[in-house]
Structure 1
Amino acid sequence: MRVSELSTRSAVPISSIKYYLREGLLHSGVRTATNQAEYGESHVRRLGLIRSMIEIGELPLARVRAVLAAVDDDTVTLHDAFGAVMHGLDDLPDAHDTDPDLAAAHHEVIAWMTDRHWHIDPAAPAHHRLAELITTMRRFGLPVSLTDFDAAADHAESAARGEVAYARAKDERAAAVESMIVGTVITERILLEIRRLSLESASFHLEHADTLSPFSRTGD
């Protein structure tokens, strides 16, 4: 297919395709003339992966390049390729040793993950971010504990097994990684919106508890 068809199939503008080619993020097509090349399904898939990282994951170009390098390197396990995606979705925060509350919270997070038998890369940003969030809640007077989130963690763990298994079943590494990016980011946003809806509904039912019928109070 020509670049115009590739653009249509991938929903990526021609200007962006040419930029990705110049940056080496997209492999070259088969040259058919001085200014023409033919592209195939591998280019469509690659552009889908790039698009998912930039538009869905909002990854900067340097992280996109790092993930693509992991995808292209067959010596990198699929787990490590997934790790490149997960770690690329956030920045590693500043060191915790200057903030005793934050350091203590991080120790709690590590202990909590250990109790759950979660094997997490020390370089992963997520457990550092979790410690930051717990510390912030406590500083606003909310006496939270990691165990308060056990039920949410149980649900997340169960769902994650299905998501990862689905991604790993893909025929191509690029498709597997794209599935992880889209599934992770979109699912997180879906859960956030569901929580916001549930909070508004709970507030409404508590506000009008005296006037609602017993059936209505259940939220059904």
Structure 2
Amino acid sequence: MRVSELSQRSGVSIASIKYYLREGLLVGGAQTATNQAVYSEHHVRRLRLIRSLIDIGGLSISHVRATLAAVEDDSTSIHDAFGAVMHGLDQLPDEDEPVEVKTAYGEVQTWLADRDWNIEPNAPAPHRLAELVATLRRFDFPIMLTDFDAAADTVERTAKAQVEYARAMPDRTAAVETMLLGTVILERALAEIRRLALEAASFRIDRDK
């Protein structure tokens, strides 16, 4: 297919396709003439993954490049490829974290060890969880990491199913795309469900007074 059809099939503008080609995110098509090339279904899939990483995952071009490198490197395990996506969704904080955040981070690490959750040292998520816990405590919420145990048990079951589903995809690109979409969309869905639950709980308390 020519670049115009590739744009139609992928939903990505021709200008963006040319930009991704220049940035090395997309491999060029087979040259048929000067300034002309044909593209395959692989390019359609790659463009959809790039757009998913940018639009849904919110990744920068540099993070997309690193993630795609992990996807393509067959010497990188699928677990590490998933990690490249997960870690790319956020950034490590500055080294000068407040004392209360550092304290909460130590608690997070103990909690993860108690749950036997093996998390890479450079993962941003434990730091973000520590920041959230510290913020709640700053507003006098009596929160402990063990308060998340019930939610963590539920999430662990759904996470296992999600990873197994992603790993069953026919190729690495599809697996990573599935992992990304499942992660971001499910996180948003769970956040909305919690908001609905809060409103429902408030209504019932008012009703039962």
State TM-score, norm by structure 2: 0.97
Is residue 150 of structure 1 aligned with residue 149 of structure 2? Answer: yes
Q: Which runs of 5+ in 2 are unaligned?
A: none
The number of equivalent residue pairs is: 209
- Distance, in Å, in 1 between the alignment partners of 2:34 and 2:100 is 63
Report the secondary structure of 1:31's partner residue. Answer: strand
Letter in 2 for 1:204: F
Letter in 2 for 1:118: W
Give the deviation of 1:154 after TM superposition: 0.5
- Distance, in Å, in 1 between the alignment partners of 2:111 and 2:95 is 20
- Distance, in Å, in 1 between the alignment partners of 2:180 and 2:80 is 14
Name 1:174's counterpart in structure 2: 173
1:31-110 equivalences in 2 (<5 Å): 31-95=31-95, 99-110=98-109
Report the secondary structure of 2:37's partner residue. Answer: strand
Name 1:122's counterpart in structure 2: 121
- Distance, in Å, in 2 between the alignment partners of 1:10 and 1:168 is 24
Give the deviation of 1:172 after TM superposition: 1.2
- Distance, in Å, in 2 between the alignment partners of 1:165 and 1:10 is 27
Give the deviation of 1:91 after TM superposition: 0.9
Name 1:206's counterpart in structure 2: 205
Name 2:30's counterpart in structure 1: 30
Report the secondary structure of 1:4's partner residue. Answer: helix
Give the deviation of 1:197 after TM superposition: 1.0
- Distance, in Å, in 2 between the alignment partners of 1:95 and 1:39 is 45
Larger Rg: 1
Name 1:135's counterpart in structure 2: 134
- Distance, in Å, in 1 between the alignment partners of 2:151 and 2:113 is 17
Give the deviation of 1:95 after TM superposition: 2.4
Name 2:4's counterpart in structure 1: 4
Identity of aligned residues (%): 62
Give the deviation of 1:64 after TM superposition: 0.5
Letter in 2 for 1:149: F
Report the secondary structure of 1:32's partner residue. Answer: strand
- Distance, in Å, in 1 between the alignment partners of 2:83 and 2:18 is 28
Q: Deviations over 1:83-118 (max 9, x none)?
A: 01000000101226x533222111111110001000
Deviation >2 Å, runs of 4+? none
Report the secondary structure of 1:58's partner residue. Answer: coil
Is residue 192 of structure 1 aligned with residue 191 of structure 2? Answer: yes
Give the deviation of 1:6 after TM superposition: 0.9
Give the deviation of 1:42 after TM superposition: 0.7
Q: C-alpha root-mean-square deviation of aligned residues, in Å? A: 1.1
- Distance, in Å, in 2 between the alignment partners of 1:100 and 1:4 is 55
Give the deviation of 1:162 after TM superposition: 0.7
- Distance, in Å, in 1 between the alignment partners of 2:11 and 2:95 is 41
Q: Which runs of 5+ in 1 are unaligned?
A: 211-220
- Distance, in Å, in 1 between the alignment partners of 2:179 and 2:190 is 16
- Distance, in Å, in 1 between the alignment partners of 2:45 and 2:174 is 7
